[in-house]
């Protein structure tokens, strides 16, 4: 097959662009649904693989962390090697890693496979919008990009239900494994179709990546997250606190290294102009807090429902679904506001999330021997509306104070901070939940009471963090309409 290239300026657009977009959407959907589907399977993995509390945390955190650390360097590598080439390699890697996850003989193997899966997801994700931007003429891009938001919303709704169905069906006696194995035929079809339908976007071999910056940033984040997850298992030894200090030092070294690269006119992993932009860095801090609440919350809710009250995976997935429906509803409504009322919308989102999760906290805190899945519907729906309203307004608000020349890099960096926040949240919430659960069980509490009390305690993290977002929303500068610059698509992962 001969390579084909995007049409030159003035030439008719590629007639295969809509079919090619479908391939991009399928691959993106496969990546997004994997985040939600795994939460439902955690109790089955814990039982089937004999995993410890810490290892179950790593099943979630390892993927998120690998994805976060890979986004920026793989985005740059796409510029160097070619977006389409890296996209196809990413889909192939994600498919292969899914097979490894589904065939994992033990929990250690599964965690390693999840790391590979996260890196492959980071390899393909930054290329998706870049390919669509080049393939579609300006007058069609709005319609094309709207489909990415739709697919993200559908993934958030379908994930818990599909996960519950696959696990409850116990296909071939495989329990949780089909949630990963189902990606294999989808991924193979996406690679084959993409090879023939997606334009070959040439790379720029003269460009270079900041490999020292990648190492400093990656090691710094890992040195902070690792002891938060593992510290409890080792009784919080001195080395755990030493690693956190070393991680902060590596991140500081990354900033100085980036400044030096910028002074010499060399490419940087994160543009130094963004690091010195106080409004952007404040926004990145708020994004990290905002994103830290949700992945860990659904981890503990799934463990509560299935481990504490014997819900089936399908019942657990259906119980969580109102949150995803709320996200989908709010995302559709938020698009109608455009760039108006951004601070008010973010503050409202923080209030809805704090209220909804607070409501859920007080219900779970009062649970004794039985739990009513219908009681989850109103608070989760309210919280989901808050999340869907908050992410779009938050990204727009942060990027409104970024110069247009840095908008693309800023959007990519914010998505990386979003994932880092998710990993930190899983570590912190897991620490709260599993510590209290272990203490409660040791003290002779019944499983019902131990799981309910531990979940209620862990939910305070979300109530406080989203309450903080409510307050910080008004610390942003009021954005000027002419400077609005928002990402075309933000993945809302639940």
pLDDT tens for each residue of 219-255: 999 999 999 888 888 888 999 999 999 999 999 999 9
Other Cβ atoms within 10 Å of 221 Cβ, number = 22
Q: Once rounded to an integer, what is the mean pLDDT over residues 411-419?
A: 86
Task: Please give the pLDDT value at position 247.
Answer: 95
Which residue do the tokens 């094309």 mark?
Answer: 144
> Model's pTM, two decimal places?
0.87
Task: Please give the pLDDT value at position 481.
Answer: 47
Which one, of 324, 373, 377, 379, lies nearest residue 357 by Cα? Answer: 379
Question: Cα–chain-centroid distance for residue 135?
Answer: 26
Contact 4, 202 (CB under 8 A): no
184-189: long-range pairs with CB below 8 Å, 24+: 184/95, 184/98, 184/99, 184/102, 186/26, 186/30, 186/95, 187/27, 187/30, 187/91, 187/92, 187/94, 187/95, 187/98, 188/95, 189/26
Contact 461, 332 (CB under 8 A): no
User: 309 falls in which pLDDT band (50, 70, 90)?
Assistant: very high
* CB burial of residue 143 (10 Å; 0-12, 13-18, 19+): exposed
Lowest mean pLDDT among 154-163, 339-348, 477-486: 477-486
| CA 10 – CA 8 distance, rounded (Å) | 6
Q: Once rounded to an integer, what is the mean pLDDT over residues 451-463?
A: 95
Question: Cα–chain-centroid distance for residue 371?
Answer: 29
| Nearby residues of 172 by Cβ (< 8 Å), 6 or more positions away | none
Longest pairwise C-alpha distance within the chain = 74
Structure tokens at 218: 């990656």
**Local structure of 443: helix, strand or coil:** coil
pLDDT in tens, 126-182: 888 778 877 888 777 777 776 776 777 778 788 888 888 999 888 888 889 999 999
pLDDT at 378 > cutoff 80? yes
| CA 411 – CA 57 distance, rounded (Å) | 28
Q: Once rounded to an integer, what is the mean pLDDT over residues 392-409?
A: 78
């Amino acid at each position: 097959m001969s390579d084909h290239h995007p049409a030159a300026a003035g030439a008719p657009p590629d007639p295969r662009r809509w079919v090619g977009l479908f391939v991009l959407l399928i691959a993106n959907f496969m990546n997004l649904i994997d985040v939600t589907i795994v939460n439902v399977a955690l109790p089955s993995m814990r039982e089937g693989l004999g995993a410890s509390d810490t290892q179950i945390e790593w099943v979630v955190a390892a993927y998120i962390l690998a994805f976060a650390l890979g986004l920026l360097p793989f985005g740059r590598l796409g510029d160097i090697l070619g977006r389409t080439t890296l996209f196809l390699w990413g889909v192939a890697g994600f498919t292969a890693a899914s097979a490894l996850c589904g065939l994992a003989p033990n929990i250690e193997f599964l965690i390693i496979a999840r790391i590979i899966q996260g890196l492959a997801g980071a390899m393909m994700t930054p290329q998706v919008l870049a390919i669509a931007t080049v393939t579609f003429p300006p007058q069609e891009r709005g319609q094309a990009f709207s489909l990415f938001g739709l697919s993200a919303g559908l993934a958030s709704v379908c994930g818990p239900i599909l996960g519950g169905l696959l696990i409850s069906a116990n296909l071939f006696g495989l329990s949780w494994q089909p949630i990963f194995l189902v990606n294999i035929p989808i991924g193979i079809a996406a690679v084959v179709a993409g090879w023939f339908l997606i334009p070959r976007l040439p790379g720029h071999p003269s460009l270079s990546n900041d490999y020292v910056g990648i190492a400093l940033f990656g090691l710094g984040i890992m040195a902070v997250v690792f002891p938060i997850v593992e510290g409890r298992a080792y009784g919080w030894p001195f080395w755990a606190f030493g690693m956190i200090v070393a991680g902060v030092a590596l991140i500081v070294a990354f900033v100085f290294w980036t400044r030096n690269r910028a002074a010499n006119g060399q490419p940087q992993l994160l543009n130094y102009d963004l690091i010195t932009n106080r409004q952007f860095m404040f926004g990145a801090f708020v994004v990290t807090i905002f994103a830290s609440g949700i992945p860990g919350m659904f981890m503990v809710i799934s463990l509560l429902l299935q481990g504490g009250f014997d819900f089936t995976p399908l019942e657990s997935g259906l119980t969580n679904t109102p949150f995803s429906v709320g996200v989908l509803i709010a995302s559709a409504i938020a698009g109608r506001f455009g760039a108006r009322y951004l601070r008010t919308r973010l503050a409202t989102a923080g209030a809805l999330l704090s209220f909804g999760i607070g409501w859920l906290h007080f219900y779970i805190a009062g649970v004794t021997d039985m739990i009513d899945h219908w009681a989850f519907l109103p608070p989760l729906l309210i919280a989901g509306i808050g999340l869907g309203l908050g992410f779009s307004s938050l990204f727009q608000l942060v990027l409104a104070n970024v110069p247009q020349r840095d908008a693309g890099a800023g959007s990519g960096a914010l998505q990386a901070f979003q994932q880092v926040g998710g990993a930190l949240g899983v570590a912190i919430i897991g620490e709260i939940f599993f510590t209290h659960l272990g203490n409660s069980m040791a003290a002779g509490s019944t499983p019902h009471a131990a799981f309910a009390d531990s979940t209620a305690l862990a939910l305070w993290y979300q109530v406080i963090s989203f309450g903080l977002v409510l307050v910080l929303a008004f610390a942003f500068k009021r954005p000027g309409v002419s400077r609005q610059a928002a990402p075309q698509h933000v993945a809302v992962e639940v």
